[in-house]
Structure 1
Amino acid sequence: METQEYIESGVLELYVYGLLNETENEEVALMAKNNPQINAEIIAIEKAIVALSSSFSPFHSVANYEKIKEKLALKHNPKVIELEPKRNWSQYIGWAAAVLLLAGIGYQYNQNQFVTNQVVQSSTIEKAKLEKDIKVLELKNAASETSLAVVRDTKNTVVVLGGQAVAPESSAKVYWNQDTKVVYIDAAGLPEPPQGMVYQVWALKLNPLTPTSIGLLDNFDANDQKLFAVNSADQAEAFGITLEPAGGSLTPTMEQLYTLGKV
């Protein structure tokens, strides 16, 4: 904390009034020893308090009061009517002012602490948000790198799937490594599936026609790259994609055949 901020925080007033704990007193004393500006501020506060107290002190002392009373008694008659001493309200006002000053200093100190806590809390939330955003970017970068690796892999056989009667504008691509049997589906050319429906991928043998399910394109809307890894395909003469109820089907619904392509 800068010296001026420390002076304005109200800690030095609490120190002069003796309202800090032992650890805080030692901390202020050490700072005053090492920082002339803070030490001068403490001296100024002490002088201000002394001046404030003096301004509210009674003008006549008790001794002066007794002397005046004796002189009055000798001058008039020996019988003196005792008067109740007048209450010195100025003294009480002085202490009340000091208490109000102290309360104000305490309030300012608490307010400064509250603002500091709010700033720390806000910074913590902002840090967590930034960390979350960075994590999302890292995942997106990893997905992009995977997509590029699949597309650039020269060992992959690329099978283009064209749109069928139910969705002639649809398209897709199959990246099939016939050595490792790994299959990726580029579904960027498919529309969003209706709620409660899912795309299902089939590896086909043509004679006789034998479809084998190799996976579902789950979480379609959450996949920004629209590149899906499905189950491996050992032997395939063609690939097709149908729209099926959530969870998939045992056999393809040919009326919902969206794309088809031969190897």
Structure 2
Amino acid sequence: MDIEDYIDSGILELYVAGALSEKENQEVYALMQKHPEILDEVLKIEAAIKTLTEAASPDKTQAFDTVKVRLGLEDTDHKVITLKPKTRYKWYSFTGWAACILFAIGFFWLANENNQLKNQISTTQSTNEFLEFQIEKANKSLTESKKLIAVLRDRNIISVPLAGQAVYPDAYAKVYWDKSNNNIYLDVQGLPTPPEGKVYQVWSLKLNPLTPTSLGTLDNFKTDENKIFTIENANDSEAFGITLEPAGGSESPTLDQLYTLGTVTATS
């Protein structure tokens, strides 16, 4: 076998690139062990590829020019040195490696641009979804406001103001009682935000004897912007009260935590 012809065949470049079959790899490896010239050529090819790889600057705008300079394809102010005819490096092979490197740079640039585009689309979709949510929320709020206005203007609605008590004299609330559908509309804008682990509980009261009936707790007090709650009330109420209770509510009102109280009068 002619060693020079074997080296010039290009098979060693394919070996370094990992483009050979398992059998061919084994054949090349065996020849490397047997012929120092072949081993030396493989090492030179690997060194040349490493040099080309290092030429791939992270600055993608300069990568192509950098590789051209490393390949000796760029005009410079230096005197051109003619390569020896016996040189074993095959420039078409190295140019192929440079093309691979530039392709990889371009691929990663496109991948990065694609990811940025996906992020922009995702952000736009999130913004649109948020706006749709806000519009839906506004429409719902408008509908509820119109419904509440209609309720307040109804001449059959019983209005019961609830005054602040000893535990918090500045507190106030108001009940709008619609007996036709057994609902009360409770405005608690005048109550302070309950502390952590506490909740307001609404009571329907009979006065003689004093008999409280729970109408439920205002669990969404902190998140409800309007602070107006619709509560079912089928009781023959004579008064309404609001107490501060442990989370989950109590079976009977904690009287020393009575925040507001109001009676249903004949003129209500």
TM-score, scaled to structure 2: 0.60
Letter in 2 for 1:92: K
Equivalent residues in 2 for 1:10-89 (5 A)?
86-88=85-87
Contact 1:144 1:225 in 2 (8 A): no
Give structure 1 regions of 4+ aligned residues with deviation exceeding 3 angstroms. none
Please name the residue that 1:113 is paired with: 111
Mapped to 2, the partners of 1:194 and 1:102 lie a distance apart of: 66
Distance 1:175 1:134, change over 3 A: same
Equivalent residues in 2 for 1:66-215 (5 A)?
86-88=85-87, 92-153=90-151, 154=154, 155-215=156-216
Contact 1:178 1:234 in 2 (8 A): no
Q: What secondary structure, in the 3-state scheme, does the structure 2 residue paired with 1:255 have? A: helix
Mapped to 2, the partners of 1:197 and 1:99 lie a distance apart of: 71
Letter in 2 for 1:213: S
Identity, in percent, stands at 39
Mapped to 2, the partners of 1:222 and 1:133 lie a distance apart of: 19
Q: What secondary structure, in the 3-state scheme, does the structure 1 residue paired with 2:189 have? A: coil
Contact 1:214 1:233 in 2 (8 A): no
User: In the TM superposition, what is the alpha-carbon distance from 1:133 to its structure 2 partner?
Assistant: 4.5
Mapped to 2, the partners of 1:145 and 1:157 lie a distance apart of: 22
Letter in 2 for 1:164: Q
Mapped to 2, the partners of 1:181 and 1:218 lie a distance apart of: 21
Q: What secondary structure, in the 3-state scheme, does the structure 1 residue paired with 2:234 have? A: coil
RMSD over aligned Cα atoms:
2.5
Distance 1:229 1:187, change over 3 A: same
Mapped to 2, the partners of 1:256 and 1:141 lie a distance apart of: 37
Q: What secondary structure, in the 3-state scheme, does the structure 1 residue paired with 2:113 have? A: helix
Distance 1:234 1:151, change over 3 A: farther
Contact 2:204 2:235 in 1 (8 A): no
C-alpha offsets along residues 191-249 of structure 1, whole Å, 9 cap, x if unaligned? 00111111111111222222111111112111111112223233112111111111111
Provide structure 1 residue ranges, at least 5 long, that are not aligned to the other structure.
1-54, 57-84
Q: What secondary structure, in the 3-state scheme, does the structure 1 residue paired with 2:133 have? A: helix
Mapped to 2, the partners of 1:214 and 1:144 lie a distance apart of: 26
Mapped to 2, the partners of 1:140 and 1:193 lie a distance apart of: 26
Provide structure 2 residue ranges, at least 5 long, that are not aligned to the other structure.
1-71, 74-83
Please name the residue that 2:8 is paired with: none
How many residues align? The count is 180
Letter in 1 for 2:107: Y
Contact 1:202 1:214 in 2 (8 A): yes
TM-score, scaled to structure 1: 0.61
